[in-house]
Structure 1
Amino acid sequence: MPMIDVYAPADTFAEPAKLAQELATTLMEIEGVPAIPMFKNNTAAFVHTPQAMSNVARSGDYVRVQVLTNAGALNREQQQAVVARFTDLVIAAGGTKDHVWVLLTEAVPGGWGLWGHAHTNEELVAAARDEIARLQGGATS
């Protein structure tokens, strides 16, 4: 149930809402999570347009994508896939290849707040399995 934040100058993307949806969908695919409401409703991307952006040379045409997940949610292969695919999506939406940064950040174990509770990765996986079983009309774990 990651959160994705995209920071870019205004007018970088013709369709920022479409990019946000594509990033959220892509991350769910990479994670391999089922497309059930519990996940679809809690995986989101936000496109922000800061008032000011600049590097030391006063260039501000950067796009910064920060992906926040619960600790241990992505293995190394998945991390590589997120960076590659997100970079491609941002470029296709209007960013420039040399100026796309994708940052992967993990919440501390037990620091992923959802439903008013700080969850560990194991608790989130167990909750997901319970929800899948409930939706399939079966018993929970």
Structure 2
Amino acid sequence: MPMIDVYAPTDSFPDHHRLAKDLAAALMRIEQVPDIPMFRENTVAFIHELSASSLSSVDGGTGIRVQVLTNAGALDRDKQLAVVADLTAIVAAAATDDKLTEHVWVLLTEAAPGGWGLWGRAHSNEELVGAARAQIAQLQAGSPA
């Protein structure tokens, strides 16, 4: 269940909801996960606004940090390259200040085994894959998920 966190100066984006939705959809597409409710409902982006005084480079500049948390092994090298390129482009297109987009950092992080808390329980990758397969089987059989 990928999670995306975007940290940016206040008022960097006019439409947080659209940005979050676009980032989540891009990550699902790149990961090539099945388009099922379990993934659509739990692939989420969060937009965090920070006051200008709460971030700075050594030279006093600012930028945008995008952190992507995925299941272990979800992104091979080609997918890593695609995530960084596509998410950077989406953030740059949504930003109100072109100077900010000169410094978009995308951090790729894999969850530790058992590192996914969902439905009130910590899950391993294998448990999440099993839950996804069960939902896919239900949908294919025409049963409600």
In structure 2, the residue corresponding to 1:49 is in which secondary structure?
strand
Report the alpha carbon displacement of residue 56 of structure 1 after superposing the two structures with TM.
1.3
CA contact (8 A) 1:5 1:48 kept: yes
Q: Which residue of 1 aligns with 2:85?
A: 84
Higher mean C-alpha deviation, range 117-126 or range 63-72: 117-126
Q: Given residue 82 of structure 1, which amino acid in structure 2 is its aligned partner?
A: V
Report the alpha carbon displacement of residue 98 of structure 1 after superposing the two structures with TM.
2.2
Q: Where has structure 1 moved over 3 Å in runs of 4 or more? A: none
Question: Any stretches of 5+ residues in structure 2 without a counterpart?
Answer: none
Q: Which residue of 1 aligns with 2:61?
A: 59
Alignment of 1:105-116 (within 5 A): 105-116=109-120
Alignment of 1:17-32 (within 5 A): 17-32=17-32
TM-score, with normalisation over the residues of structure 2?
Answer: 0.87
Q: Distance in 2 between the 1:114 and 1:73 partners?
A: 18
Q: Distance in 2 between the 1:138 and 1:46 partners?
A: 33
Q: What is the count of residue pairs matched by the alignment?
A: 138
Q: Distance in 1 between the 2:75 and 2:126 partners?
A: 13
Q: Distance in 1 between the 2:140 and 2:125 partners?
A: 23
* Same amino acid, percent of matched pairs: 62
Alignment deviations for residues 75-116 of structure 1 (CA, whole Å, 9 cap, x no partner)? 121111100100110111115442100000111112112223
Alignment of 1:1-141 (within 5 A): 1-51=1-51, 52-60=54-62, 62-94=63-95, 96-137=100-141
Q: CA RMSD in A?
A: 1.7
In structure 2, the residue corresponding to 1:65 is in which secondary structure?
strand
Q: Given residue 29 of structure 2, which amino acid in structure 1 is its aligned partner?
A: E
Q: Given residue 50 of structure 1, which amino acid in structure 2 is its aligned partner?
A: L
In structure 2, the residue corresponding to 1:98 is in which secondary structure?
helix
Report the alpha carbon displacement of residue 36 of structure 1 after superposing the two structures with TM.
1.5
Report the alpha carbon displacement of residue 138 of structure 1 after superposing the two structures with TM.
7.1
In structure 2, the residue corresponding to 1:22 is in which secondary structure?
helix
Q: Given residue 88 of structure 1, which amino acid in structure 2 is its aligned partner?
A: A
